[in-house]
Amino acid sequence: MRHYKHLTIEEREKLYLMKNLGQSIRKIAQELGRSPSTVSRELKRGRCYRHPYMPSTAQIRYEKRRKNCGRKHKLSVPEYRETVRMLIEGQHWSPEQIANRLKLENNPLQISYASIYRAINAGLFNGPLNKEGHLRKASRFSRHLRHKGKTRKVGGKGRQSQITITHHIEERPQGARDRTVIGHFEGDEV
């Protein structure tokens, strides 16, 4: 099975030159190694109101259409993203709890816990970047999760990727530092 390959800017320029020289669509298609219907559609799609075909305009339109294609993530909607953010940060819910609660309440946002983990890994919830363009450790959203979540194989190579949680001992509550609350004693005393 052959996979479709999009026209490049060089092919569009060659198409433009050959069309202006009066070549037929079949001759152009043969020269480009493409189907005549591909060339015909490209000529129709790349028209401007003043010019019959402009390769630079056709390339810009192609890139714009290409950027808008594909399925959008459910959490790219700001209201949905803020709902999940509030439940994880404010309520300390796990993605599994969020997914099941939304399903139970027949919420308009129906999302799986795996999608929430994918959104966290993709950085949809992360804060601003620092001067070097890196995410500060304090603004990594995964540190708000209660536990690491499932590990999974990446790329079929056997390596495992997991969400890292960077809770520091300095972030303990005051009661744990003073050891006034039972259950906050150090592990070496057990």
In this structure, what token pair is assigned to residue 6? 């999009």
What 3-state class would DSSP assign to 145? Answer: coil
Whole-structure pTM over 0.75, yes or no?
Answer: no
Query: CA nearest 147: which of 73, 110, 97?
Result: 97
The CA radius of gyration of the chain, in Å to the nearest whole number, is 27
Is the predicted pLDDT of residue 24 greater than 90, yes or no? yes
Domain boundaries, the chain: 9-68, 74-164
- Round the average pLDDT of the chain to a whole number and report it: 79
Could you give the 3-state DSSP secondary structure of residue 161?
strand
State pLDDT tens for residues 128-172: 555 555 555 444 676 677 665 555 555 555 555 566 767 777 777
Give 174's pLDDT tier (boundaries 50, 70, 90): confident
Integer Cα distance of 12 and 79 in angstroms: 41
pLDDT of 190 higher than 50: no
Q: What are phi and psi of 46, to 5 degrees?
A: -95, 15
